[in-house]
């Protein structure tokens, strides 16, 4: 433990750390909360205050903070081998983990390419799909279909297939162009506002089909966040959507890349979101939950068919020329293996259904609130969208930062949250107890009420 005072830690932070997705002028104006410990679903600050971790360490935490089983697996691995490389060497833990991932992945995925974060897992998927068609002698298939509101990471390739204007627009000149399909149920178009989102979804799919009819000959792959568009605002797709996308990709000979970085590892109630509709993508990107929130690790899974296209004589240059220094780090792989053991040992997926029901009941009660415009849930993910006018769904101006104010208020109730604009995100560790979940939702409800209905009392 550090024996520095909270004030000193705050000073070091403000003096030296540049925070992600943060207006630092605002950050510097106030002393930050400094987290020094974690315990189950809780974060503990440098003054000993406890906060329920409502965003699961930014969507990564599965079994709670500092779980003894994962802690021990990491400690054991540190004393065996901290890192070698997968460039020219095999390694114990990455081999065992790859076998395990293929066992639990949708049927038909058979190879694992490691990296160390969600953005790189996506970049690898894009590069793989691109190079695949070159090896097949169809270099004209070089473009990508992506979705409006999609988020696939912050590196240049991953941003190129992204569709959240507020993050991506400034970088547009740097990005490669994609063919953008409309987002699934957008909650904003006229059809959705008239409560006919199923028609909106049908029209989105019809538009996707038209895009494919026109462009399939030049398209390498389609990239989708299955079931839920995360950073775009927790936008939940209707039943059957990814199954239909899979059918269209197959029909038009387009590789389907499923970005399960946020939704993988139990988050939506099944091990992977694709499992829900028995979909096997051609390429699947995994990261956030893979080490249960412990260490950076990512994996891009693909099929034998894609892999085989890269086989050839060395001189043919069919090699997949890509690799990161910490690819398949053994300590991270040991954490991932220990996490998967816990999934089995604690029947985690089976036990999730009662928590998902409690979350749903609590959310249903909140739809009555005056400034709650929409509530979206998929498994243990929820997004509560706050609006200025419930009738017209007129949004709050994003510069009003109502979402941020609610999350600030929640700290008074012992809860840590991080919004997406004016969407309050609920993404607790999957190990959260029903009692903790109720505590979380009590605090969320009180905070929304205080900020949107009784701001004079704050």
Ligand X SMILES: *Cc1c(COP(=O)(O)O)cnc(C)c1O
Residue, CB closest to ligand X = 118
Q: Which residues pair with 11 in a beta bridge?
A: none
- Write the CB contacts of 354 (distance below 8 Å, at least 6 apart in sequence): 434
Nearest by Cα to 229 from 261, 272, 266, 265: 261
- Cα 251 to Cα 124, 185, 215, 216, 244, distances in angstroms: 24, 23, 13, 10, 10
Question: Distance between CA atoms of 307 and 320, rounded to whole angstroms?
Answer: 9
Measured from the CB atom, the residue of 255 and 262 that comes closer to ligand X is: 262
Question: Distance between CA atoms of 427 and 95, rounded to whole angstroms?
Answer: 31
End-to-end alpha carbon distance in the chain:
35
Measured from the CB of residue 324, what is the shortest distance to ligand X in angstroms?
12
Q: If you count DSSP H runs as helices and E runs as strands, how many of each does the chain have, helices first? A: 16, 17
Measured from the CB atom, the residue of 117 and 131 that comes closer to ligand X is: 117
Measured from the CB atom, the residue of 118 and 419 that comes closer to ligand X is: 118
Q: What is the 3-state secondary structure (H, E, C) of 284-331?
A: EEECHHHHCCCCCCEEEEEEHHHHHHCCCCHHHCCCCCCCCCCCCCHH
- Token pair in block for residue 153: 């990471």
Measured from the CB of residue 3, what is the shortest distance to ligand X in angstroms?
32
Measured from the CB atom, the residue of 12 and 176 that comes closer to ligand X is: 176
Measured from the CB of residue 135, what is the shortest distance to ligand X in angstroms?
26
Whether residue 343 contacts residue 69, with contact meaning beta carbons closer than 8 Å, is answered with no
Question: Distance between CA atoms of 108 and 111, rounded to whole angstroms?
Answer: 9
In the block, tokens 């600030």 appear at 408
Q: Which residues bind ligand X (CB under 6 A)?
A: 117-119, 122, 151-153, 225, 230-231, 259, 261-262, 287-288
Q: Which residues pair with 37 in a beta bridge?
A: 44
Measured from the CB atom, the residue of 162 and 403 that comes closer to ligand X is: 162
Measured from the CB atom, the residue of 139 and 174 that comes closer to ligand X is: 174
**Helical (H) or strand (E) element with 386:** strand 381-389
Measured from the CB atom, the residue of 287 and 329 that comes closer to ligand X is: 287
Measured from the CB atom, the residue of 118 and 266 that comes closer to ligand X is: 118
Measured from the CB of residue 395, what is the shortest distance to ligand X in angstroms?
22
Measured from the CB of residue 180, what is the shortest distance to ligand X in angstroms?
16
- Cα 368 to Cα 281, 362, 375, 438, 451, distances in angstroms: 38, 11, 11, 18, 16
Measured from the CB of residue 227, what is the shortest distance to ligand X in angstroms?
11
Measured from the CB of residue 289, what is the shortest distance to ligand X in angstroms?
10
**Helical (H) or strand (E) element with 184:** none
Measured from the CB atom, the residue of 225 and 409 that comes closer to ligand X is: 225
Measured from the CB atom, the residue of 230 and 403 that comes closer to ligand X is: 230
Measured from the CB of residue 378, what is the shortest distance to ligand X in angstroms?
13
Q: Phi-psi category of 214—alpha, beta or left, where left has phi over 0 and alpha has psi -120 to 50?
A: alpha
- Token pair in block for residue 4: 């520095």
Measured from the CB of residue 155, what is the shortest distance to ligand X in angstroms?
7
Measured from the CB of residue 70, what is the shortest distance to ligand X in angstroms?
19
Nearest by Cα to 307 from 117, 114, 131, 126: 131
């Amino acid at each position: 433990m550090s024996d520095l005072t909270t004030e000193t830690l705050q000073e070091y932070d403000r003096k030296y750390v540049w925070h992600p997705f943060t207006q630092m002028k605002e950050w510097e104006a106030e002393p930050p909360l400094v987290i020094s410990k974690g315990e189950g679903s809780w974060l503990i600050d440098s003054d000993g205050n406890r906060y329920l971790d409502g965003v699961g360490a930014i969507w990564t935490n599965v079994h709670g903070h500092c779980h003894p089983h994962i802690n021990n697996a990491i400690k054991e691995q540190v004393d065996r081998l901290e890192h070698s490389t997968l460039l020219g060497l095999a390694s114990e833990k990455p081999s065992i983990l790859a076998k395990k991932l293929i066992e639990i992945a949708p049927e038909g995925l058979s190879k694992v390419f490691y990296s160390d974060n969600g953005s790189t897992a996506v970049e690898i998927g894009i590069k793989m799909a691109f190079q695949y068609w070159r090896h097949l002698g169809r270099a004209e298939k070089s473009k990508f279909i992506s979705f409006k509101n999609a988020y696939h990471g912050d590196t240049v390739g991953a941003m190129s297939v992204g569709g959240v204007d507020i993050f991506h627009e400034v970088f547009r000149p740097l990005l490669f162009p994609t063919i953008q399909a409309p987002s699934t149920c957008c909650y904003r178009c006229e059809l959705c506002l008239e409560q006919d989102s199923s028609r909106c979804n049908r029209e989105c799919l019809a538009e996707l089909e038209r895009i494919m009819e026109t462009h399939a000959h030049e398209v390498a792959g389609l990239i989708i966040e299955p079931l839920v568009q995360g950073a775009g605002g927790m936008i939940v797709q209707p039943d059957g959507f990814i199954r239909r996308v899979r059918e269209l990709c197959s029909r038009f000979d387009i590789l389907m890349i499923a970005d399960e970085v946020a939704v993988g590892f139990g988050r939506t109630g099944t091990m992977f979101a694709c499992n829900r509709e028995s979909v096997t993508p051609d390429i699947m990107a995994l990261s956030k939950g893979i080490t249960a929130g412990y260490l950076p690790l990512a994996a891009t899974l693909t099929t034998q068919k894609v892999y085989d296209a890269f086989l050839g004589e060395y001189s043919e240059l069919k090699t997949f020329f890509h690799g990161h220094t910490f690819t398949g780090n053994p300590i991270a792989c040991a954490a991932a293996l220990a996490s998967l053991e816990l999934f089995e040992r604690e029947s985690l997926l089976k036990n999730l259904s009662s928590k998902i029901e409690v979350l749903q009941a609590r959310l249903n009660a909140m739809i009555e609130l005056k400034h709650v415009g929409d509530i979206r849930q998929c498994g243990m993910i929820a997004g509560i969208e706050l609006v200025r006018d419930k009738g017209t769904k007129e949004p709050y101006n994003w510069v009003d930062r109502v979402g941020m104010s609610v999350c600030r208020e929640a700290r008074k109730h012992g809860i840590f949250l991080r919004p997406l604009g004016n969407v309050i995100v609920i993404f607790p560790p999957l190990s959260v107890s029903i009692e903790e979940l109720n505590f979380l939702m009590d605090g969320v409800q009180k905070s929304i009420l205080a900020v949107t209905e009784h701001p004079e009392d704050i």
